Structure 1
Amino acid sequence: MAPSPSAGSSPGAAGSTAGRARMTIGQVLDQLRPDYPGITIPKIRFLEDKGLIKPERTPSGYRKFAGDDIDRLRYILRMQRDHYLPLKVIGQHLDAIDRGLEPPPIDSVVPTVPKVSLTSDGLPSPESFARRSDVRLSRRELLKIAEVSDELLTQLEQFGLVSARTGTGHYDTDALVIAETARELAEFGFEPRHLRAFKTAADREVGLVEQVVAPLKRGRDAAAKGRADDVTSEIAALSVRLHATLVKQGLERI
């Protein structure tokens, strides 16, 4: 096997970070975040609960990660990000590797979805709101890539959180992000009915933006629509920043 899982190989004893040193879960995050910004402590714990990683435990119950554990995490995250493999399939790959076998070849059968443009603090930028996705996913592709069940997607549609494009029956990048997020929130006990509150809050914010932008759209010059679109994107980004910061501030008081 090749020495570095980040270069496309399988995790194993010869991994680039292999060694006897043990790291805390916080140190593991620092190692992984440059390549996988979305990694979180709950995500790592979830992968452990699924049996995909097995870090050592101290007598006090703290997790300690070896180099092989980090290589294994990189492999899992890369298979999810680059090949959209569900965890069940990744588990089969890891089982084969653990038994000294080569994992099955990976055939790309789904499209690559563009990443949303983010600012340095992780929040959406005005450009991300201005961008219009050309991605069109079938229902089957959406279920596969987002790793959600048909039942969960149906519930998300029933509560108005996800919908196919009118006239095409295809889903876009926004639907994919919402479905993936709903799946991750479900790990903490959130059901689609709980997420309806987020949709209601978002609709209110959209209403406020519309009030400001409506007069600009009524301009008679050729550049009116362009100015309105620019203002919409800027206000949207500021709105999300304010919303996220207020939530952060509120959580600090808990």
Structure 2
Amino acid sequence: MLETPSGGAASGTAAGDSGPMSIGAVLQTLREEFPEVTVSKIRFLEAEGLVEPERSPSGYRKFSGEDVERLSYVLRMQRDHYLPLRVIREHLDALGRGELPPSVQAPSREPLEPDVTPPAPTVRIGRGELLAVAEVDEEKLAEWESYGLIAAASDGAYELTEVTVARIVADLGRFGIEPRHLRAMKAAADRQADLVEQLVAPLRRHRDARTRARAEATAQELAGLSVRLHAALVQSALRPHGD
């Protein structure tokens, strides 16, 4: 559940009350919490309508403290929750009306079982937004797709899991790890997913809705255990061993 302060759209980044700010001053302020933010990212968020700074007679942007708080909220939701801009825009609209963001409101339906959490609704983003979130260009994304690391749905959109993969692949690239180095990891992940699917397939086909929901919960738990095992095995392999 997202925790949102009741008094405004964001907290944590000091916008100050020193009057209108240039885009350079905004960048400096935001980098206190978001070191990797760029001018291009701020302009992209403006182009998407997430912030609407005033313009001076000569055309320069003039950001208010509220503009900086909105930008902080957007960047925080992307960083911490991988939310697409469409959902973040709904949050900002709700906050502007003095309401809680949609995802913070309590669910209206009864839980399926005390120990079973219903799967979250699928949220997808467009290619342009994926490029902005991962902070890569079209050529790099196309390369990742050619190695099967990233895949769009049939309608050309991307699920939030693809955003997570994109950001991790981008981070690995800073250490010189290229997509071709990750083919074995992708193949191992596919094999592990096939194993999990074999285990939960009978539950997915069950007529009872609660049993099908348990299948999703079981699949998520098995996926989490697989990730932990992979991390433990890598750490074990890197640990110096005595003769």
TM tier, shorter chain? 0.5 to 0.7
Matches within 5 A, 1:23-102: 75-76=30-31, 78-79=33-34, 85-86=37-38
Is 1:115 the counterpart of 2:106 in the alignment?
no
Residue 125 of structure 2 corresponds to 137
Using the size of structure 1 for normalisation, the TM-score is 0.53
Q: SS of the counterpart of 1:223?
A: helix
Structure 1 pair 222/7, CA: closer, same or farther in 2 (3 Å)? closer
Residue 154 of structure 2 corresponds to 166
Q: CA separation in 2, counterparts of 1:75 and 1:87?
A: 11
Is 1:210 the counterpart of 2:197 in the alignment?
yes
Residue 223 of structure 1 corresponds to 210
Contact 2:13–2:33 (8 Å) recurs in 1: no
Residue 8 of structure 1 corresponds to 14
Residue 231 of structure 2 corresponds to 244
> What is the CA deviation profile of residues 201-250 of structure 1, one whole-angstrom value per residue up to 9, with x for unaligned ones?
11011111112112223334343312211211111111111111111111
Report the aligned-residue RMSD: 3.8
> One-letter code of the match for 2:204?
K
Structure 1 pair 89/137, CA: closer, same or farther in 2 (3 Å)? closer
Q: CA separation in 2, counterparts of 1:9 and 1:212?
A: 51
Contact 1:129–1:236 (8 Å) recurs in 2: no
Q: SS of the counterpart of 2:81?
A: coil
Q: CA separation in 2, counterparts of 1:175 and 1:193?
A: 18
Contact 2:204–2:212 (8 Å) recurs in 1: yes
Q: CA separation in 2, counterparts of 1:128 and 1:244?
A: 26
Q: CA separation in 2, counterparts of 1:187 and 1:217?
A: 40
Q: SS of the counterpart of 1:226?
A: helix
Is 1:146 the counterpart of 2:111 in the alignment?
no
Q: CA separation in 2, counterparts of 1:177 and 1:220?
A: 33
Report the count of equivalent residues.
163
Query: What is the deviation of 1:88?
Result: 7.1
Residue 235 of structure 1 corresponds to 222
Structure 1 pair 207/153, CA: closer, same or farther in 2 (3 Å)? same
Residue 101 of structure 2 corresponds to none
> One-letter code of the match for 2:174?
E
Q: CA separation in 1, counterparts of 2:130 and 2:116?
A: 24
> One-letter code of the match for 1:229?
E
| Residue 172 of structure 2, aligned match among 163, 169, 185 | 185
Contact 2:116–2:213 (8 Å) recurs in 1: no
Contact 1:138–1:171 (8 Å) recurs in 2: yes
Contact 1:130–1:229 (8 Å) recurs in 2: yes
Is 1:197 the counterpart of 2:203 in the alignment?
no
Structure 1 pair 128/158, CA: closer, same or farther in 2 (3 Å)? farther
> One-letter code of the match for 1:140?
G
Contact 2:118–2:213 (8 Å) recurs in 1: no
For structure 1, which runs of at least 5 residues remain unmatched after alignment?
Answer: 11-71, 91-102, 117-125
Query: What is the deviation of 1:160?
Result: 1.1
Structure 1 pair 130/236, CA: closer, same or farther in 2 (3 Å)? farther
> What is the CA deviation profile of residues 48-92 of structure 1, one whole-angstrom value per residue up to 9, with x for unaligned ones?
xxxxxxxxxxxxxxxxxxxxxxxx999526235xxx8337779xx
Using the size of structure 2 for normalisation, the TM-score is 0.55
Residue 87 of structure 2 corresponds to none
Q: SS of the counterpart of 2:128?
A: helix
Structure 1 pair 137/223, CA: closer, same or farther in 2 (3 Å)? closer
